[in-house]
Amino acid sequence: MKAKVFFQVRLNFLIVFITTFIWLLVTYLTKLEKEEVLVNFYNKKQPGDPGWKKIIRNFETSKNWNVPNGIKAILLGCVLIYSCLFATGYFIYGKIIEALICSVFI
């Protein structure tokens, strides 16, 4: 039993190593994207600051970082989906009070 687990762990490490090697190789061997494309993307999506400082500095684009609002939206979306799932399950099993409590968040 231990030998089977050992070989599975070794296989997983091998898969992770090969995958990481390939994506690093592809990343460094492909040509860089044009700066106009990066500026266009930055202006449309407004990604976070840490990796985009060079683009912001060189092209003086507007500096709006909406990540905190996006995180709030993700969390509220998770609450909505789980509330729907639990409310449906509670309704199916006849637990009306719990279902109504979950339905308040919908």
Same domain membership, residue 58 and residue 69:
no
Same domain membership, residue 97 and residue 86:
yes
Q: How many domains are contained in the chain?
A: 3
Residue-level pLDDT at 65: 63
Same domain membership, residue 99 and residue 72:
yes
Q: What is the pLDDT of residues 70-85, one digit of tens each?
A: 889 999 999 999 999 9
Same domain membership, residue 26 and residue 14:
yes
Q: Which residue has the higher pLDDT, 42 or 24?
A: 24
Q: Pick from 38-52, 63-77, 87-101 the range whose average pLDDT is largest.
A: 87-101
Q: Which residue has the higher pLDDT, 40 or 65?
A: 40
Our CA angle for 44, 47, 51, nearest 5°, is 130
Tell me the pLDDT of the chain averaged across its residues: 85
Q: What is the pLDDT of residues 16-26, one digit of tens each?
A: 999 999 999 99
Same domain membership, residue 69 and residue 99:
yes
Q: Which domain holds residue 49?
A: 37-63
pTM of the model: 0.45
Residues of the chain with pLDDT > 90, as a percent, come to: 47
Residue-level pLDDT at 59: 74
Same domain membership, residue 59 and residue 81:
no
Q: Mark 81-105 as b/e (b = at least 16 C-beta within 10 Å).
A: eebeebbeebeeeeeeeebeebbee
Same domain membership, residue 99 and residue 80:
yes
